[in-house]
Structures are given as structure tokens and as C-alpha cells.
A = this chain, B = another copy of it.
């Protein structure tokens, strides 16, 4: 058995970012930049007004002075002339400050009357002018390689005049559920069988993480069928299997994939839930074999699949984010397996959440997992803790999970 940390390091170490593709700007949200975005223009492109009002020469614009309004400069319509002594130009937010002007008289500090305007508040030089290049300059790198693009980044790339972006291809993840006992929802259920929940939960998780899930038909516990399905996954960046990873006679994934050229890296992790987890390589395709228990499969996904997906997407593949919380119940001493207790989060003192573990932690209970808001982390050999002691938890809400 290897540790959770070592397992993650070996998984991440075996993966590389997908190659780049060019996508139109709106399709780039959530993708990871493969090439930096350089601004193709200077923003603002000229000195512009930050407010509605009048472009003036500050030296002329003392309170009580009348100025002649010689034109207007709305945004997008620069005033063609120049401002001389005693003159002003009506201007609007984003309008180009005409040559000669060095300040803006605010609309609320002015009184317009025909072709002239009364200064009611003395204007300070440079006031309410946004200087050329305040936001960014042409050629400046506004977004860097390796960044997962937010809605704001899309806005920034647009402002920099980039209609196309080079991003890493969304990783295609094949999902192969195995087992004689499982059926798709709505399909006939064999005697003693259950409905497959892993494949579609994993597909949703992969979609939430920016991947492209490919759900393969369920295969029975039969080497030939498993091998067939694995071949269908050759075009994937990663093949995820569920079921068949434990030590039972009917755990065929390992033996079925062997003749296909599968090379195993490791298959046991000192953790709970989810000890049996296969990691290896099938020809060019890395294979992550998740346990069949839905809860184990999803907890292992948080710990290993999401970082793997991040890595394939062009990110470093960091462990899931943890936050501080207080134990909402007494916790027993832990054995040598890293434990992940499903818990609710309740508001605690000074904004510190209280993580209350569910009393039954059986790894078959989907309902408990769906209600859980966090996983309480219990390292191997962690000492017993009393209620209220500090613990580290993985919040599940921010994983789209």
C-alpha cells in the first residue's frame, strides 16, 4: 500500500497537458491558456474622460467663470478641433479628451446655458481624466499561459482585441463501468443487481472540471468484454474504470487488461474509503481504476481524478483545496489508512465552520455522500480528537461535485 500523497504524485507525474487548439473567444471560458494573450491595442487608446461633463483648461475653470462650449465629444466620436482659452467641449464618459484640455468639469458642478457653461466648482488639473494606457499597453501580456480562464479573463482578452485564443484541448475521459450486477437507470435490473450510478456521476464531475466525458457501454465481468471496451477508449486522454479493482475473484479489470498491454503502476492506497485503486497505462492511454463502491469511487475522484483532469487540462494538478474547521463530534484515533469522513458543515464561531461527521460512514451510501458538504481528513495514525478540536476538511461545494 502506498500513501495518498505518493499515489497522487505518481498519477500527476505520468500525465501531460493536452495539446493546444484555437477556439473563438466565447468558447474559451473555463479552458486553460496554452499561449499568452498579448494586448493588441492600448487601453484606453487615448486620454479619455472618466465622467460626464466638460473638457476644459483647468487654468480657465475657476468657480464663477463662464466658458464657451465649442463642441461635443461623446464616447466614440472624438471632437475634431482644439480647445483654446475660455473654451470647453461637452464630454461623456469614455470620450476622448480634446487637445488643449487638461481636466474635466463634472456635469453636476456645471450649469449649461445655450452655447456656454458656468463653472460652479473650481476644477483641478488632470482631474477625471483616464490616461492613455491606464489599463494596459499594446504588446503587454494581459493573460499568461497556464491560467484557467474566468469570465473576467474573457472580458480582458476581448478588451485586448483577441477574437481567438489558444487553449488546451478539453481532456477526453473514457468512463468504463464494469460488473454483471449493474444496469443503466430505466433498464431491466438483473436479480440481485443494482443501478449503475458511478458512470453518470463521474461524467458530471468531469464536465464540471472542464473535461469531455465519454461514457462507454457497461461491460459485464468478462475479460473479453472489458478488453473490447478498453480498445474503444484508445482515443481518450485517460480511461477511468469503476469496479473490478479489489482483490476478489471477480475483479477482472487487471487480468482483462493485461493481454492488451496494460502495465500496472500501483493498485493499493492506504486510504478509506477506496483502498483498491488501479493506476497504470494501456498502450498510450493512462488508466485510473476506481473502486466499484460509489462512495469510494467519488472520494477517490476528488483526491485523484480531479487533479488528474486539472493536469491534463494544463494546470499543475494540485491536491484539492482544504479549509480549517472544528470537529463537530469526538473522533477516534485513526489506523494506518488515511480516512475521509463525510460531514455536514455548520456555521461556527468567528466564521470557522464546524464539520459534523455522519454517524454511519458506510462506503455504499450515496444518500449520505450527496448530503455531505465536506470530507474531514484523518491522516494515518491521527490521534483521537475531542469535539471542537481543529480539523482540516475538503469542502465539496466548490468542486462542482
Please give the residue numbers on chain A whose beta carbons come within 8 Å of chain B beta carbons, in ascending order: 25-26, 29-30, 41, 43-46, 48, 50, 52, 73-78, 90, 92-96, 107, 130, 134-136, 142-143, 149-164, 179-182, 184-186, 189-205, 207-208, 215, 221, 246-250, 292-294, 298, 323-324, 350-352, 362, 364-370, 372, 396-398, 400-401
A250 to B249, CA, bound (A): 77
B191 contacts A78, CB within 8 Å? yes
A156 contacts B366, CB within 8 Å? yes
Task: Find chain B residues with CB under 8 A from A199 CB.
Answer: 158
A151 contacts B74, CB within 8 Å? no
Task: Find chain B residues with CB under 8 A from A157 CB.
Answer: 185
A203 to B294, CA, bound (A): 35
B94 contacts A181, CB within 8 Å? yes
A26 to B196, CA, bound (A): 13
A198 to chain B, nearest CB (A): 7
A204 to B353, CA, bound (A): 31
B161 contacts A193, CB within 8 Å? no
B135 contacts A367, CB within 8 Å? yes
A364 contacts B44, CB within 8 Å? yes
Task: Find chain B residues with CB under 8 A from A153 CB.
Answer: 370
Task: Find chain B residues with CB under 8 A from A160 CB.
Answer: 195
Take A41-B195, A247-B52 as given contacts and tell me if A158 and B93 are in contact as well, using a CB distance cutoff of 8 Å: no
Number of copies of this protein chain within its complex: 2
Task: Find chain B residues with CB under 8 A from A372 CB.
Answer: 152
B207 contacts A156, CB within 8 Å? no
A201 contacts B158, CB within 8 Å? yes
A190 and chain B: residue at smallest CB distance: B76
- Selected contact of A192 from candidates B96, B142, B370, CB within 8 Å: B96
A152 contacts B401, CB within 8 Å? yes
A143 to chain B, nearest CB (A): 7
Take A43-B194, A198-B155 as given contacts and tell me if A163 and B181 are in contact as well, using a CB distance cutoff of 8 Å: no
Task: Find chain B residues with CB under 8 A from A401 CB.
Answer: 150-152
Task: Find chain B residues with CB under 8 A from A369 CB.
Answer: 152, 155-156
- Selected contact of A294 from candidates B93, B136, B155, B364, CB within 8 Å: B155
B246 contacts A46, CB within 8 Å? no
A192 contacts B52, CB within 8 Å? no
Q: Which 3 A-B pairs have the closest CB atoms?
A: A76-B181, A155-B201, A163-B186
Given contact pairs A95-B192, A152-B201, a sample of 4 additional A-B residue pairs in the complex whose CB atoms are under 8 Å apart: A135-B368, A151-B202, A152-B369, A154-B204
A197 contacts B156, CB within 8 Å? yes
B246 contacts A77, CB within 8 Å? no
A161 to B183, CA, bound (A): 9
A292 contacts B94, CB within 8 Å? yes
A-B contact list, 15 entries, CB within 8 Å? A26-B204, A43-B194, A74-B248, A77-B181, A92-B249, A92-B250, A107-B248, A134-B362, A135-B364, A149-B204, A151-B298, A152-B366, A152-B370, A159-B366, A398-B398
- Selected contact of A155 from candidates B149, B197, B215, CB within 8 Å: B197
A92 and chain B: residue at smallest CB distance: B248
